[in-house]
Amino acid sequence: MYSGQKRAQKLYEILKQTLSDSEVQLWIEGEGVDWSCYVKMAERVCNIACFEPRDGYYIVFMENKSNKATGRTTHIDSNIIQAIKDWIYGHSFNEFYDKFDFINNEKKGLQKFLDASLINYPELKQCTIDFKCQFGDSYFLWFKTQNRACCLRSVNNRICQCEFYSDADWDSSNRALFDLFEEKVPHDVPLDLIIKYWLCDNFMPSQLEQHFLWFKAGKLAHYYELGKRIEGEFILSWEIAIPRIARSIDYILDVFPSMEEDEVFLKYRKAIENKLKFFLEIRNKRYDQKLRIGHAVDTIILSRSRKHGLVNRQAHIIFDFPSDGSLYVNTFYLGKKTESTQEIDTYKVEVQCNDFFYEKAEYTQEIDILLQLLVAQDIT
C-alpha cells in the first residue's frame, strides 16, 4: 500500500469521527500514488490530496464546482480540521479566508507586500496591478505599465522572486531582463523602491546598478540599454545551448562511466563532436545575432522566434545528427500573405517545407544559403 493511500485512510477516520452530521458525505478516491480524501456538504467540497510525508497535504476548497481557495500543509492538526469544518458548514468566505493563515499562503504574502508598497510609494498605484494563479496555490503579482513590468512570487510570506520585464508581452515564456533573486540579495533591500524606480521613474538597468552597488543587471539588460534587446535574446540562447551540447558527452559518462570504450557510444560521441563543431562555425559567422537556437532531445532547431519553444507556423530549420556522421536538415519557411481584409485578419500563407540529406555533417555554402533564407523571415 502506498504512503498516500495510508494517509488518506487515516485522514478519513479522523474526519469520520469529527464530522458526525448525517448530511456530510465523506469518501476516498485514488490509484497508485495519487490519493485524495473528499468531504462534501450541499454545494461545498474539500478535496484533500494526500502525498508522501515530505510533501504533506494539498487542500482545494470548492463551491458550486468552482475552486475558491487552496491550502498546503505538512501535517493535519486541529487547525486544519477546523478549516475543513468551517468551509463545509458554510462560513462566509471572507471570515474563512482571514482566519486560517495556510489558506492561499503565497497570495497572502504577495498581498501583504502590495499593501505596504502602495503606502510607501503611492506612485505605484498608476500601474496595472494583477494577481495571476499559475497553477494550484502558486501565485504571481504583476505590476505593469505601458512598456515595462515586474513579476513577484512569495513563499512563506517572503518574496523569493522579482523579475523585471521591458516588453508589452508579459506571459511567462518571455525572458525577463533580470531577476533580483538570481544572486544573493541583502535582507534590507527596498524592493518596492526598486520597482518604483523601474516602472514609475523609468530607470535604466545601469542607473539601478549605480544606486544599489550589490546589484548586477546582467547581459540581457545590457543589450536592452543598447537598443538591441532581441539580438541579446538570440545571443544568450546560444550561450546556453553551446555548453549544453558540449556537456552531453560528460553527462552520459557521469551516469554510465563504463560506456567510455563502448562502440555505440564512440559513434555517438563523434556525432556530438560534429554537432558542436557545426554550430560553432555557424556562431562564428555571427548568426547567433539573428537566430535563436533551441533543442528537443538531440535535435537542434534554429528560428526567428523571440520566445523559447515554437508554435504553429513559425519559420525554422531542424538539424539532426545521426551517429553515422551524416546530417538531416528540415526547413520550414513562410511566404507572403495572399489574402486579407481590413475587418478580420484572415489570410493564406505560402509554406515552403523541404528536407535535405548530407552524408557528412559540415558547414557548407548550401547550409549558409538555408540560414540566409531563415534570417530573411520575420521575427515572431
**pLDDT tens, residue order, the chain (380 aa):** 788 899 999 999 999 998 878 889 999 999 988 999 999 999 999 999 998 877 789 999 999 999 999 999 988 999 999 999 999 999 999 999 999 999 999 999 999 999 999 999 999 999 999 999 888 788 999 999 988 999 999 877 778 889 999 875 555 456 788 887 765 667 777 899 999 999 999 999 999 999 988 888 889 999 999 999 899 999 999 999 999 988 887 777 776 677 767 777 788 788 888 899 999 999 999 999 999 999 877 799 999 998 887 877 899 999 999 988 899 999 999 875 555 445 544 445 577 889 999 999 999 999 999 999 999 999 98
Q: What is the domain partition of the chain in residue ranges?
A: 3-102, 106-220, 229-375
- How far apart CA 80 and CA 68 sit, in angstroms, is 17
Q: How far is CA 209 from the centre of its chain?
A: 26
The answer to whether 236 and 176 have CB atoms below 8 angstroms apart is no
Q: What pLDDT shows up at residue 21?
A: 82
On whether the pTM is more than 0.75, the answer is yes
- How far apart CA 355 and CA 330 sit, in angstroms, is 4
Q: pLDDT tens, 63-122? A: 999 999 999 998 899 999 999 999 999 999 999 999 999 999 999 999 999 999 999 999
In terms of DSSP H, where are the helices of 100-218?
105-120, 191-199, 205-211
- How far apart CA 262 and CA 371 sit, in angstroms, is 35
The answer to whether 290 and 375 have CB atoms below 8 angstroms apart is yes
Handedness of CA 285, 286, 292, 298 (dihedral sign): positive
The 3-state DSSP class for residue 25 equals: strand
The answer to whether 354 and 292 have CB atoms below 8 angstroms apart is no
- How far apart CA 81 and CA 84 sit, in angstroms, is 5
Say how many C-beta atoms besides its own lie within 10 A of residue 210's C-beta. 11
The answer to whether 117 and 124 have CB atoms below 8 angstroms apart is yes
Q: N- to C-terminal Cα distance for the chain?
A: 51
- How far apart CA 284 and CA 294 sit, in angstroms, is 17
Q: H helices then E strands: how many in the chain?
A: 10, 15
Q: What are phi and psi of 63, to 5 degrees?
A: -145, 130
- How far apart CA 366 and CA 331 sit, in angstroms, is 13
Q: pLDDT tens, 222-231? A: 999 999 989 9
2: left (phi over 0), alpha (psi -120 to 50) or beta: beta
